Structure 1
Amino acid sequence: MSKVIVVTGTASGLGKATVEKFSGEGWDVVATVRKEADLGVHDANPRVRTLLLDVDDESAAPAFAEQALAAFGRVDALVNNAGSYQMGPLEGSTMKQIHGQFQTNVFGLIAVTKAFLPTFRTQRSGVVVNIASLTAEQGYPYSGVYAASKAAVATLSEALSMELAEFGVAVRAIMPGQHATRIFTKIDVATEVPEDYQAGIESFFGVTPMTGSSPQVTADVIYRSVIDPSLEQVRFYAGPDSTAIPHAKRILGPQEYWAEFREAAVGRPSALWRALIPAPGAEPLEREI
């Protein structure tokens, strides 16, 4: 019998690549989309059942979990991929935008996870994969709210890993670096930015490319995290810029790493930083982390 995985937010980008990866490896997939117009996105793939789900609606999660279980008769893994990106200085972000960022990236993720935990606990097996971000490791300027939401996801994943280990359930936090997906075309930009911030914003985004690894790179890491039999490892890094981070921190130590990162983030990377941290589009590093 084929194993079954649930993947949220699959209309494009990383979610779609994850659906294609798992179905290509022989898994059956329950894929979610937020818009009715996207329900046909996986129609050509006989291994995929596509369901509507808006993760912002916490009350929809229990009924969705029942639908997902009914689709193929079981669920072996859950990938919480649906998310959004709110950008801009904190002062210029409205509280509505900030609440919305956490509603999608944290509270919606929690609600969906809670809906599947009784199944995983009862069957004494399962994998919960939460998509965090490289920004959870260090806060980039003008993405602080997004980074905070992803840091919450990473920390929650570590706590859940210990809570659920006795039931044979693994929990992973995937830490993608910069990757080339449509998230950069769906940015919720701060709307009340004082003029004083404009120079800093232009300087930062002038030296920070909005490009990166293919989403297939991260989809491959997600697959590896799901089939990994260990319960102990939580953080899995994806993309050359991300996989280099733990290595750089070991070499530099936390204080020197932070000093180097601050300079690099504003366009003044040292020769040491350039040697340790490859560009987002570079070849993945062959390195144990």
Structure 2
Amino acid sequence: MSNTVVVTGTSTGMGKATVAKFAAEGWNVVATVRKDSDLQVHADLPNVRTLLLDVDDEGAAESFARTAVEQFGRVDALVNNAGSYQMGPVEASSMEQIHQQFQTNVFGLIAVTRAVIPFLREQRSGVIVNIASLTAEQGYPYSAVYAASKAAVVTLSEGLSLELAQFGISVRTVLPGQHATRIFTKIDMAEGEALDPYRAGIEEFFGNNAPTGSDPSVTADVIHQAVVDADPVKVHYYSAPDSTAIPRAKQILGKEGYWREFREFVHGRPTPLWKTLTPSPGDKPVEWGL
């Protein structure tokens, strides 16, 4: 019998690539999308069932979990990929935007996870993979709220891994770096006069960062590895060149030394140390876990 994985947020990007990866590996996949128009996005994959789910709707989580299990008779893994990106200085971000960021990236994720846990606990096996971000490990300017929501995901994953180990359930978190996905075309951007004093800093910071990133399939491979990894203790997985390089830089420089390097980069230094540690385009990006 094939194993079954549930993947949320699969209409584009890493979610769509993750569905394709697991399907190619022979898994049954329950994929979620938010819009009726996306229900056929995986129609070419016979072992994929696509269901509607808005993770912001916490009340829908329990019925969704039951429906997901009914598709193939069981669930062996959950990949919480659905998320959103709110960008802008904290001062210029509305409280509505800030609440919405945490609703999607944290509270919605928790609701889906809570709904699936009883099924995994009853069978005393399973894996939960929560997609965080490299920004979870430090504060990035103009993405502080997003980074804070992803830091919550990492900490939640660590705590859950300890709570659920007694039931044979592993919990992982994947911290992708910069990727070429549509999340950056769907930004919830801060607006208004409060944004004006920050515009020059925003342009400078993002102008020093490449506008593109790794293909989503890079992280899909790491997500698959996190699910099938037999190590019951490992929680953190990294993907994409910058995501693999920055942890190395922190080991070399120490946490405080790295932070000073990063601050210099934000305020005008053109080439921080970690960029010299990033693999060249010809290197195959691989996960690097702690």
Q: TM-score, normalised by structure 2?
A: 0.95
Deviation at 1:271, TM superposition (A): 6.4
Q: Please list every run of 5 or more consecutive structure 1 residues that lacks an aligned counterpart in the other structure.
A: none
Deviation at 1:196, TM superposition (A): 1.2
1:205-258 Cα shifts (integer Å, max 9, x gaps): 111223110000000000000000112111100011101222211111111011
Deviation at 1:140, TM superposition (A): 1.1
2: distance between equivalents of 1:35 and 1:164?
A: 33
- Could you tell me which residue of structure 2 aligns to residue 264 of structure 1? 265
3-state DSSP of counterpart to 1:139 = coil
Deviation at 1:165, TM superposition (A): 0.7
Deviation at 1:284, TM superposition (A): 3.9
2: distance between equivalents of 1:267 and 1:81?
A: 34
2: distance between equivalents of 1:235 and 1:225?
A: 9
2: distance between equivalents of 1:156 and 1:91?
A: 26
Deviation at 1:273, TM superposition (A): 3.4
Kindly indicate whether the alpha-carbon contact (under 8 Å) linking 1:239 and 1:284 is maintained by their aligned counterparts in 2.
Answer: no
- Could you tell me which residue of structure 2 aligns to residue 53 of structure 1? 53
Distance 1:287 1:136, change over 3 A: closer
2: distance between equivalents of 1:265 and 1:69?
A: 46
2: distance between equivalents of 1:129 and 1:65?
A: 16
Q: Does 1:212 align with 2:213?
A: yes
Kindly indicate whether the alpha-carbon contact (under 8 Å) linking 2:245 and 2:274 is maintained by their aligned counterparts in 1.
Answer: no
Kindly indicate whether the alpha-carbon contact (under 8 Å) linking 1:184 and 1:210 is maintained by their aligned counterparts in 2.
Answer: no
Deviation at 1:154, TM superposition (A): 0.4
1:161-192 Cα shifts (integer Å, max 9, x gaps): 11111111110110000000000110000022
3-state DSSP of counterpart to 1:180 = coil
- Could you tell me which residue of structure 2 aligns to residue 275 of structure 1? 276
Q: Counterpart amino acid of 1:78?
A: L
Alignment of 1:75-90 (within 5 A): 75-90=75-90
- Could you tell me which residue of structure 2 aligns to residue 202 of structure 1? 203
- Could you tell me which residue of structure 2 aligns to residue 190 of structure 1? 190
Aligned residue pairs total: 288
2: distance between equivalents of 1:152 and 1:132?
A: 9
1:125-181 Cα shifts (integer Å, max 9, x gaps): 000000000000111100000000000000100000111111111101100000000
Deviation at 1:122, TM superposition (A): 1.1
2: distance between equivalents of 1:240 and 1:209?
A: 12
- Could you tell me which residue of structure 1 aligns to residue 32 of structure 2? 32
Q: Counterpart amino acid of 1:70?
A: E
Q: TM-score, normalised by structure 1?
A: 0.96
Kindly indicate whether the alpha-carbon contact (under 8 Å) linking 2:85 and 2:183 is maintained by their aligned counterparts in 1.
Answer: yes
Distance 1:288 1:209, change over 3 A: closer
3-state DSSP of counterpart to 2:106 = helix
2: distance between equivalents of 1:115 and 1:237?
A: 27
Distance 1:93 1:180, change over 3 A: same
Say which is worse superposed, 262-271 or 169-178, in terms of deviation: 262-271
The root-mean-square deviation of aligned C-alpha atoms, in Å, is: 1.5
- Could you tell me which residue of structure 1 aligns to residue 23 of structure 2? 23
